[in-house]
């Protein structure tokens, strides 16, 4: 019997990739809000109706809901709280009441960026509303339902026609022979969505809970990311200009170093992760069926 998985935030980049990755091995349902998405072999429901489903409806809930724009969160703190905190509280209560495994997707923006390779036990120092609401969501969900698996990450992969990923934006510019500016002083530890999904399900299998950093092993700048991506895809990396984040005075304050340590993950699963170049090669080789969108 295939396990039944509900993915909230079902029209988002992560949820769609997740559903595509696992739909052959699980009964997948996407919980949608405004945008309607149709993927062959995947069910959909209205997010507002999930509490009406009996406990046996789902074995696992993957919560990918999040208002991720740092600028929008700063402009509208109430919306940020409603989306990033209150929604998560409701989902945690639903999962606890129905004894459903919950995986909550968090962020790597929780720290002040004054060091590198933050671990799960390092004290968060959020710099903006986005980070504060994501941190509060972690704290609330673990308080309500300690069995939750909280995932801190920074992922890349195939986007949709209405929501491009960071790698999409870089590739699209280079393929059009357009110049792109990338920060050479903002660092992170990105991971391909397929790898993220694989590691999450391995942790679910061993009944892991608590906070895990699921990220790549390599710390690099956004500029270095672009250069390596261009190399694997055979594109002109001279179109990529290194710039400093300090040149963008209009940006809300955010950490310059978001790199996370994946030591706990590797020790728990007794595994290594592929290099970033190997992940870029996997990205290049992906060919998913086109997602049909209805508005």
User: Is the confidence at residue 105, as pLDDT, over 90?
Assistant: yes
The CA distance from 157 to 102, in Å, is 23
- Torsions phi, psi of 37, nearest 5? -125, 140
**pLDDT above 50 for 37:** yes
Count the residues in the chain: 295
Task: Find out whether 153 and 105 touch, Cβ atoms under 8 Å.
Answer: yes
Stretch 25-35: mean pLDDT: 88
Q: What percent of the chain has pLDDT over 70?
A: 97
Determine contact, residues 168/192, Cβ cutoff 8 Å: no
pLDDT confidence of residue 82: 95
pLDDT at position 187 over 70 = yes
pLDDT, tens digit, 9 for 90 and up, residues 138-169: 999 999 999 999 999 999 998 877 778 899 99
161-169 long-range CB contacts below 8 Å, 24 or more apart?
Answer: 161/293, 162/35, 162/293, 163/12, 163/13, 165/13, 166/190, 166/222, 166/225, 167/229, 167/283
Angle in degrees, CA 103, 280, 192, rounded to 5: 5
In the structure, what pLDDT confidence band is assigned to residue 207 with cuts at 50, 70 and 90?
very high
The per-residue pLDDT for 15 is 92
pLDDT of residue 295: 39
> How far is the C-alpha of 264 from the C-alpha of 86, rounded, in Å?
29
Pull the structure tokens for residue 31. Answer: 């919980």
Q: pLDDT per residue over 259-272, tens digit each?
A: 999 999 999 999 99
Residue 292 pLDDT grade (very low, low, confident, very high; cuts 50, 70, 90): very low
The alpha-helical segments, DSSP class H, found in the chain are: 13-22, 70-75, 77-81, 87-98, 129-144, 166-175, 193-205, 222-233, 263-269, 276-285
Closest CA to 250 of 67, 70, 66: 70
Which CATH superfamily, name and number, covers 4-163+188-217+258-274? NAD(P)-binding Rossmann-like Domain (3.40.50.720)
Mean pLDDT computed over 75-100 = 94
At 288, list the tokens. Answer: 């998913």
What local confidence, expressed as pLDDT, does residue 288 receive? 45
Three-state secondary structure of 38-66: ECCCCEEEEHHHHHHCCHHHCCEEEECCC
Task: Please report, for residues 40, 63, 111, 171, the alpha-carbon distance to residue 168 in angstroms, rounded to integers and kept in the order given.
Answer: 23, 23, 26, 5
Domain definitions of the chain by residue range = 4-163+188-217+258-274
- The larger pLDDT score, comparing residue 166 to residue 287, is at 166
Q: Is 289's pLDDT higher than 70? A: no
What pLDDT sits at residue 121? 97
- Of 129, 155, 140, 132, nearest to 73 (Cα)? 129
Q: Which residue has the higher pLDDT, 251 or 223?
A: 223
Of 160 and 125, the structure prediction assigns the larger pLDDT to 125
Average pLDDT over the chain, rounded to an integer? 92
Q: Look up residue 257 and give its DSSP letter.
A: B
Residues of the chain above pLDDT 90, percent: 77
Residue 293 in this model has a pLDDT that exceeds 50: no
- The pLDDT of 49-56, averaged and rounded, is 81
Instruction: In whole angstroms, give the CA distance from residue 18 to residue 13.
Output: 9
Average pLDDT value for residue range 233-241: 96
pLDDT at position 45: 87
């Amino acid at each position: 019997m295939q396990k039944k998985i509900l993915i909230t935030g079902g029209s988002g980049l992560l949820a769609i990739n997740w559903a595509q990755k696992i739909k052959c091995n699980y009964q997948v349902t996407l919980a949608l809000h405004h945008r309607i998405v149709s993927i062959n072999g995947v069910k959909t429901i209205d997010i507002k109706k999930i509490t009406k489903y009996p406990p046996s409806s789902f074995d696992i809930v993957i919560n990918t809901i999040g208002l991720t724009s740092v600028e929008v969160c700063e402009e509208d703190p109430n919306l940020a709280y409603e989306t990033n905190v209150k929604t998560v509280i409701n989902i945690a209560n639903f999962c606890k009441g129905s004894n459903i495994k919950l995986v909550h997707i968090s962020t790597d923006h929780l720290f002040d960026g004054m060091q590198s390779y933050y671990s799960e036990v390092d004290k968060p120092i959020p710099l903006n509303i986005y980070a504060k609401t994501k941190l509060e969501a972690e704290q609330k969900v673990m308080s309500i339902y300690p069995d939750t698996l909280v995932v801190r990450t920074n992922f890349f992969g195939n986007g949709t026609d209405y929501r491009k990923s960071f790698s999409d934006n870089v590739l699209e510019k280079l393929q059009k022979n357009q110049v792109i500016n990338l920060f050479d002083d903002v660092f992170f530890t990105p991971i391909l969505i397929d790898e993220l999904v694989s590691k999450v399900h391995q942790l679910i299998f061993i009944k892991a809970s608590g906070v895990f950093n699921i990220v790549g092993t390599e710390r690099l700048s956004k500029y270095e990311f672009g250069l390596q991506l261009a190399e694997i895809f055979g594109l002109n990396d001279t179109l990529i200009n290194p710039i400093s984040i300090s040149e963008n005075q209009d940006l809300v304050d955010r950490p310059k170093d978001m790199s996370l340590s994946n030591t706990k993950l590797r020790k728990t699963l007794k595994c290594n992760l592929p290099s970033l170049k190997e992940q870029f090669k996997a990205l290049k080789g992906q060919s998913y069926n086109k997602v049909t969108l209805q508005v």
